[in-house]
């Protein structure tokens, strides 16, 4: 006999029919009830499917009834039938939730996202992927369902580490907002220490160390002792000089309180603000003498005394504004002297009386003196301050040898081969020996014939300057024909004809040496008899 009752046979027959017409595989979460259509369907009456869904998904049913959670905020018309949003029989990998993470409207949940939360991605908060079993009808075993989006903890500490270590309780929203974790709404003005200036930008732990919030020392040094550069020499009342706007904002009127005005480099130097400790060190009332602070900067090594302000100013230590004119020193700086540094003349540590210096050129230019002092110490007689070697202005007209014509174009060392100029002869031949093609047969006084314009020009008049006028054939003769170096006195050779025409005498001296008795100067062959 069959063990099935009539009802069971009918149910069995119905189940077989349902299996025969199944539209497709269920999702992985519903895989174990794939052959149990009655878990979700009652004899194919669609109106009963929603109640069956909620029988398993009790949390969703609770949200709907209490109007909380995602399903509690969706319009009732949309959730009257679960299949409006959810479907199945689309295969094992099908997502029945249809969750669009990129466009999901979080305002439909119990935790709207605003402020910094609005920029977060889903996984920043929904990271648990908690696994739990849903309640199913008797006899039906369900696999774990992914409930990673079912987020019931809304306390800040569930996501954010409590830096206060629960010392301030768990209501973070009393101080903080979603605009930013550091943007807290705690009103510190209601305490005994109102926050203003730079204090407004501090984090709580900057003052409340180790989460200590009661009986905090409010004196400046309780927080700023490590940054206090005065080493306590100015006392503990920091507010006498400083404000909360900025620690380095000096509210102290230095000129009013001390009579010493701080300006320029005494306020800021090399891109850094000058601090009180730079001058005061361990003294409340240091010396106001420049050298008290700038002794190491004194390149003069004390040579110029302690009144640095006579030359320097507070704008720049390196730039001196001392006026080195005739009225202040008796030695105005001009030309190349204008760019010379002070210690070029005022030797540091050695020149004890700089204003009493002997202002002679040789004092500084001894090493530059090529004359070795033989021309005296007053270099200004020839040189000027524009350039030591250029525009030498010595007036040679006041010497025994005035320079004229071509001599004016010469540089000094063209004639003066030594630096002292003392061993030079005024004789032309001392310079023009190599130019003397007469080989000194006409003496040393070249100026007798030549002038200083051009060496090749000469102007000797044999007719008037000698006792032997040149006439006839003698006019075209070269000087060297008569003035030979073989003569005892080449300058004044013998004036008789025979001295030059001995070889031309066909008479062999028979008529004496006075040739002019018969011959003329026009032509030797012509006779005057």
Residue-wise pLDDT for 109-154, tens only, equals 888 888 888 888 777 777 653 333 334 333 333 333 344 566 656 7
**275 pLDDT above the threshold of 80:** no
The string of pLDDT tens digits covering residues 415-432 is: 887 777 766 778 888 888
Average pLDDT of the segment spanning 1-22: 51
Is 213 within 8 Å of 167 (Cβ atoms)? yes
The whole-angstrom separation of Cα 140 and Cα 32 is 8
Q: Taking the CB of residue 147, how many other CB atoms lie within 10 A of it? A: 16
Burial zone of 296 (CB within 10 Å; 0-12 exposed, 13-18 middle, 19+ buried): exposed
* 32-87 tens-digit pLDDT: 888 888 788 776 566 667 888 888 888 888 888 888 878 877 775 455 678 778 88
8 Å CB contact between 339 and 384: no
pLDDT of residue 193: 87
Which residue ranges make up each domain of the chain? Answer: 6-116+123-146, 156-218, 429-495
Burial of 446 (0-12, 13-18, 19+ CB in 10 A): buried
pLDDT band at 9 (very low <50, low <70, confident <90, very high): low
Strand spans (E) along 28-151? 131-132, 145-146
N residues, the chain:
529
Say if residue 449 is exposed, middle or buried (CB neighbours under 10 Å; 0-12, 13-18, 19+). Answer: middle
**pLDDT mean over 303-308:** 77
SS3 content of the chain, % helix, strand, coil (to 5): 35, 5, 60
Q: Can you tell me the mean pLDDT for 189-211?
A: 84
Q: How many angstroms separate the Cα of 116 from the Cα of each of 176, 248, 463?
A: 12, 34, 124
Closest CA to 144 of 31, 221, 269, 249: 31
Q: DSSP per residue over 285-312, as a string? A: S----HHHHHGGG-TTTTTT-S-GGGT-
Cα 140 from chain centre: 79
- What is the pTM (predicted TM-score) of this model? 0.34
Show Cβ contacts of residue 135 under 8 Å, excluding neighbours closer than 6 positions: 55, 56, 58
Q: What is the pLDDT of residues 474-504, one digit of tens each?
A: 988 888 888 888 888 888 888 888 888 888 8
* CB atoms near residue 317 (< 10 Å): 16
First-to-last alpha carbon distance for the chain, in angstroms, is 204
């Amino acid at each position: 006999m069959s063990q099935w009752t009539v009802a069971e046979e009918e149910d069995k027959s119905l189940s077989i029919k349902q299996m025969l017409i199944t539209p497709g595989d269920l999702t992985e979460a519903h895989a174990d009830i794939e052959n149990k259509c009655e878990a979700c369907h009652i004899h194919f009456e669609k109106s009963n499917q929603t109640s069956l869904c909620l029988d398993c998904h009790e949390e969703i049913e609770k949200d709907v009834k209490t109007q909380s959670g995602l399903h509690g905020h969706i319009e009732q018309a949309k959730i009257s039938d679960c299949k409006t949003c959810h479907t199945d029989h689309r295969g094992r990998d099908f997502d029945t939730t249809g969750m669009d993470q990129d466009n999901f409207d979080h305002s439909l949940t119990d935790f709207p996202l605003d402020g910094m939360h609005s920029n977060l991605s889903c996984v920043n908060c929904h990271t648990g992927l908690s696994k739990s079993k849903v309640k199913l009808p008797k006899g039906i075993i369900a696999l774990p369902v992914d409930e990673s989006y079912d987020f019931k903890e809304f306390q800040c500490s569930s996501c954010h580490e409590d830096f206060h270590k629960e010392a301030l309780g768990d209501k973070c929203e009393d101080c903080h907002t979603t605009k930013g974790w550091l943007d807290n709404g705690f009103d510190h003005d209601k305490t005994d220490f109102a926050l203003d200036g730079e204090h407004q930008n501090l984090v709580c732990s900057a003052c409340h160390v180790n989460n200590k919030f009661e009986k905090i020392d409010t004196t400046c040094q309780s927080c700023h002792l490590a940054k206090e550069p005065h080493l306590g020499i100015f006392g503990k009342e920091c507010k006498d000089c400083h404000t909360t706007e900025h620690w380095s904002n000096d509210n102290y009127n230095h000129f009013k309180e001390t009579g010493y005005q701080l300006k320029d480099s005494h306020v800021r130097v090399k891109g850094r603000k000058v601090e009180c400790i730079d001058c005061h060190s361990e003294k409340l009332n240091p010396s106001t003498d420049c050298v008290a602070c700038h002794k190491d900067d004194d390149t003069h090594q004390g040579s110029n005394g302690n009144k640095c302000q006579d030359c320097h100013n507070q704008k720049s230590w390196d730039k001196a504004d001392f006026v080195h004119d005739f009225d202040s020193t008796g030695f105005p700086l001009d030309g190349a002297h204008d760019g010379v540094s002070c210690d070029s003349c005022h030797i540091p540590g050695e020149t004890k009386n700089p204003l009493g210096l002997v202002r002679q050129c040789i004092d500084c230019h001894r090493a530059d003196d090529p004359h070795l002092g033989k021309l005296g110490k007053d270099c200004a007689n020839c040189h000027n301050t524009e350039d030591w070697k250029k525009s030498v202005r010595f007036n040679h007209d006041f010497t025994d040898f005035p320079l004229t014509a071509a001599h004016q174009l010469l540089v000094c060392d063209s004639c003066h081969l030594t630096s002292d100029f003392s061993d030079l002869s005024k004789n032309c031949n001392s310079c023009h020996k190599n130019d003397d093609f007469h080989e000194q047969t006409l003496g040393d006084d070249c100026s007798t014939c030549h002038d200083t314009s051009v060496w090749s020009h000469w102007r000797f008049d044999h007719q008037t300057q000698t006792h032997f006028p040149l006439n006839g054939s003698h006019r075209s003769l070269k000087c060297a024909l008569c003035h030979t170096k073989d003569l005892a006195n080449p300058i004044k050779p013998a004036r008789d004809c025979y001295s030059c025409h001995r070889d031309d005498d066909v008479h062999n001296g028979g008529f004496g040496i006075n040739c002019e008795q018969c011959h003329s100067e026009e032509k030797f062959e012509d006779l005057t008899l």
